[in-house]
Amino acid sequence: MRTIRLAAPAALVLALAGCLSTPVERAGAGALAGAAISNATGGNVLAGGLIGAAAGAVSCGVPGLPPCRGN
């Protein structure tokens, strides 16, 4: 059951990843994913959301990764 609770948010974020073209959209998706994963693992939801938002916001334009759509 725990695997499903972890896999579901990750699958949702991966499905929506192609639709996100601005840093704000990616930060929102990262915040939701981080909070959901923190909740599923019994961690601090606020901290997970903040870490996810930061990761989502800076995920575009990372050297070595493909460029983001719309850039």
pLDDT tens sequence across 16-64:
656 677 778 888 888 988 998 898 888 999 999 999 899 888 877 777 7
Greater confidence (67 vs 38) lies with 38
Q: What is the pTM of this model?
A: 0.65
Under DSSP, the state recorded for 18 is G
d(CA 45, CA 36): 7
pLDDT at 26: 83
pLDDT at 44: 92
